[in-house]
Chain A
């Protein structure tokens, strides 16, 4: 089975721009979660989607949004980029049943200049 695939691997953007990151979950997985990893804050939960519906949301501003498609693929969008948004963005998928283990992709490294 192919693992979780995130594209692109690297992105460089300028302050004020917006960006879209993509995540393809493991085949058959219906839940996709997004996490932000920074040296200062560590790993923080952004949101989780299940069957095209946002099921949980972390404590991030509205500039961070996401969606999930009928094939379970997910996208995350960040608008009006700030320098502090520079981070490794990780996507994780799971079958979707409560508290099943999460499987992570290799992440997208976003640099905002």
Chain B
């Protein structure tokens, strides 16, 4: 059974810092990994999707990497801003089913 872990559970940084969020998964036979952002009381916004054959994806100040063999992914946020404050979730698609298995998220606070 696939399990996804995110560390740390919460992170508080001053504005302007570069930061890294971590995600690990137990079964390396994944099809893709997706990073989402969730604002309080809202749904999930897809940030980046990395196919299993890819090593990284970039979008603006965000860069996500994937190391399938070690079961790890990182989300790098450059020059953080208060508007980046949210919960960040990673999720993997694996196995014969199409559902996502989610981590418990990292709650990020960027202080002005």
A33 at the interface (CB under 8 A from B): yes
Chain B residues touching A, majority SS: strand
Helix, strand, loop or mixed for chain A's interface? strand
Count of interface residues, chain B, beta-carbon cutoff 8 Å? 24
Q: Which of B42, B100, B104, B105 contacts A102 (CB 8 A)?
A: B100
Instruction: List residues of chain A with CB within 8 A of the CB of B41.
Output: 88, 109
With A42-B105, A99-B31, A101-B49 in contact, do A106 and B98 touch (Cβ < 8 Å)? no
**Count, chain A residues at interface, CB 8 A:** 25
Question: How many contacts A-B (CB < 8 Å)?
Answer: 56
Q: Is A22 an interface residue (CB 8 A)?
A: no
B99 and A90: CB pair below 8 A?
Answer: no
Contact A103–B98 (Cβ < 8 Å): no
From B43, B49, B98, B104, contact of A48 by CB (8 A): B98
Are B43 and A56 in contact (CB-based, < 8 A)? Answer: no
Closest to B97 in A: A56
Within 8 A of B (CB), among A50-86: 55-56, 58
Chain B residues with Cβ below 8 Å from A98 are 31, 98
